[in-house]
């Protein structure tokens, strides 16, 4: 049975886990990132719209609002340092009718409270000058110049490769099954499942480049860690419950999007939002850095944390 020790164990290889791994790699601590799937960004971090939000939609005073705005400001420099594709294309929230303009103003005030810079209210004429292919009868819009777009899995790989180059050990296909706290540290039991090597694993040198292995279950691995970071995404509640924390309750929803042909590249430049509802930001028009346009997402409740299927 393999036994390893590390100062920090990060559970989860999505954008949160890899970003934390990269940041911790700046310091004199040993860091291991453990992902249950055979590749990074296998869950929510690959299946999303790739939007770098401005922070206008988040409730003022919340941690989410603060981190969204601060994170947004980090992207231009990160893109230069890590060489991933990022576009500061901006975003607009549109009002269909005159009676929706007060809601736009409230949303603008919320964004200003959160520290979103450059947000402003524009009329129909200026909106159509920015986006001439939108419906000509739209009443008004908010413009958020700080909005951006990325390729989500490229971002995750870039973060992971930089973390690995700085000494972070990346372990893939390894699922945490038990956590015990004792003597000021944590003993973690995990089952390893071998699989095909992704680019990030090559950078981490955890498996030989381009090696493909038939999926097999190997002996349980034990990791002793001083600290654990729970970045397990939809499975964060399961991980937390292993140390007796049942406070995390996740009710998953699945979204689907239409992907349009690249011949429409530039047809819409900004990410276009409708006015949000209490449960959703709505159906968006989302340019991608590769030139496609996406329409969506939907938001359907599901009982599964691992349902990646589509309906069409």
Residue 270 is among the residues annotated as catalytic for this protein: no
Distance CA 175, CA 20 (A): 19
Beta-sheet strand order (sheet of 120-123): 120-123, 140-144, 91-95, 271-274, 284-287, 293-296, 258-259
**Which residues partner with 79 through β-bridges?**
none
Q: Which residues contact 33 (CB under 8 A, 6 or more apart)?
A: 9, 10, 12, 13, 17, 18, 21, 160, 163, 168, 169, 170, 171
Q: How many residues does the chain have?
A: 312
What is the rounded CA–CA span in Å between residue 233 and residue 90? 27
- The count of other CB atoms within 10 Å of the CB of residue 128 is 16
If phi > 0 it is left, if psi is from -120 to 50 it is alpha, else beta; for residue 10 that is beta
Selecting among 3, 53, 57, 133, the annotated active-site residue is 53
Cis amide prior to 297 (ω within 30 degrees): yes
**Distance of alpha carbon 62 from the chain centroid:** 18
Distance, CA of 229 to CA of 17 (rounded, Å)? 8
Q: Are strands 140-144 and 91-95 parallel, antiparallel or unpaired?
A: antiparallel
Nearest to 255 by CA among 302, 292, 293: 302
- The long-range contacts involving 103-107, CB below 8 angstroms and separated by at least 24 positions, are 103/275, 104/140, 104/141, 104/142, 104/275, 107/56, 107/57, 107/142, 107/275, 107/276
The two structure tokens encoding residue 167: 């000494």
Question: Active-site residues: which are they?
Answer: 53
């Amino acid at each position: 049975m393999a036994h390893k020790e590390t100062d920090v164990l990060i559970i989860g290889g999505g954008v949160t886990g890899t970003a934390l791994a990269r940041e911790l790699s700046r310091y004199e601590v040993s860091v291991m990132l453990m992902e249950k799937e055979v590749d990074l960004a296998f869950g929510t971090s690959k299946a999303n719209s790739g939007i770098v939000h401005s922070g206008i939609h988040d409730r003022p005073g919340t941690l989410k609002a603060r981190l969204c705005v601060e994170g947004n400001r980090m992207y231009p420099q990160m893109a230069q340092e890590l060489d991933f594709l990022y576009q500061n294309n901006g975003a607009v929230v549109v009002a269909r009718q005159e009676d929706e303009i007060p809601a736009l103003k409230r949303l603008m005030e919320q964004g200003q409270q959160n520290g979103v810079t450059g947000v402003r209210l524009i009329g129909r004429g200026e909106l159509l000058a920015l986006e001439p292919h939108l419906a000509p009868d739209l009443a008004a819009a908010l413009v958020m110049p700080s909005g951006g777009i990325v390729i989500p899995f490229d971002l995750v790989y870039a973060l992971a490769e930089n973390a690995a180059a700085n000494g972070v050990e990346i372990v893939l296909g390894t699922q945490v099954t038990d956590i015990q706290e004792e003597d000021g540290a944590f003993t973690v039991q995990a089952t390893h499942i071998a699989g095909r090597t992704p680019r990030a694993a090559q950078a981490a040198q955890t498996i030989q480049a381009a090696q493909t292995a038939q999926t097999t279950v190997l002996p349980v691995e034990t990791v002793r860690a001083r600290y654990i970071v729970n970045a397990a995404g939809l499975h964060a509640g399961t991980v937390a419950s292993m140390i007796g924390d049942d406070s995390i309750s996740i009710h998953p929803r699945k979204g689907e999007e239409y992907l349009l042909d690249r011949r429409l590249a530039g047809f819409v430049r900004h990410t276009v939002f409708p006015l949000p509802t209490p449960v959703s930001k709505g159906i968006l028009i989302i340019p991608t850095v590769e030139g496609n346009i996406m329409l969506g997402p939907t938001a359907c409740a599901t009982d599964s944390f691992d349902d990646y299927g589509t309906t069409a």
